[in-house]
């Protein structure tokens, strides 16, 4: 067997192995997506229970916490769907938007420290400016 033939056969075996691993990755992502959907629906029950609670002030804080957890599951599920639709990859645009929404969610829940609040607001602004630059200059080149 010549060196060239050996390398060709080795490359072919590695390609089949890579396809096998990619198929396992898709199956694992699909199963994780199903699990996250189940958790997403499970979070709806405490949300509705808090909605009909008798203590308004305690209930509002609890409802906000439940909504935050719900959107965490929602965003992770959306990221898995995006990865499955794009052959295991997630777009930069999607990740920038995910980062901005995560920071807004953090800003909603924790806004007692003014320095931290300003830092989060600046980070949100940077992400939004990055998204605008990406749309204007980079997206067409990809």
Candidates 81, 120, 75; CA nearest to 98 is 75
Q: What is the pLDDT of residue 36?
A: 92
Q: Is the whole-model pTM more than 0.85?
A: no
Q: Are 68 and 103 in contact (CB under 8 A)?
A: no
Q: What is the pLDDT of residue 129?
A: 93
Q: What is the pLDDT of residue 62?
A: 75
Candidates 94, 96, 104, 48; CA nearest to 71 is 104
Q: What is the pLDDT of residue 11?
A: 92
**What does the domain layout of the chain look like in residue ranges?**
34-141
Q: Would you write out the chain's pLDDT as a tens digit for each of its 142 residues?
A: 577 888 899 999 999 999 999 899 889 999 999 999 999 999 888 887 777 776 766 667 777 778 888 888 888 898 888 888 887 778 888 888 888 988 988 888 777 888 988 999 999 999 999 999 988 888 766 6
Sign of CA dihedral 60, 64, 69, 71: positive
């Amino acid at each position: 067997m010549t060196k060239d033939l050996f390398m060709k056969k080795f490359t072919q075996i590695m390609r089949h192995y890579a396809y096998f691993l990619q198929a396992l990755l898709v199956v694992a992502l699909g199963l994780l997506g199903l699990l996250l959907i189940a958790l997403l629906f499970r979070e709806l029950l405490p949300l509705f229970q808090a909605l009909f609670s008798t203590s308004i002030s305690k209930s509002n804080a609890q409802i906000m916490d439940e909504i935050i957890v719900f959107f965490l599951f929602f965003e992770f599920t959306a990221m898995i769907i995006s990865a499955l639709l794009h052959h295991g990859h997630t777009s930069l645009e999607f990740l920038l938007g995910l980062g901005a929404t995560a920071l807004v969610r953090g800003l909603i829940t924790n806004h007692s420290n003014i320095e931290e609040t300003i830092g989060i607001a600046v980070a949100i602004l940077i992400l939004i400016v990055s998204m605008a630059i990406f749309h204007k200059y980079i997206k067409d080149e990809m």
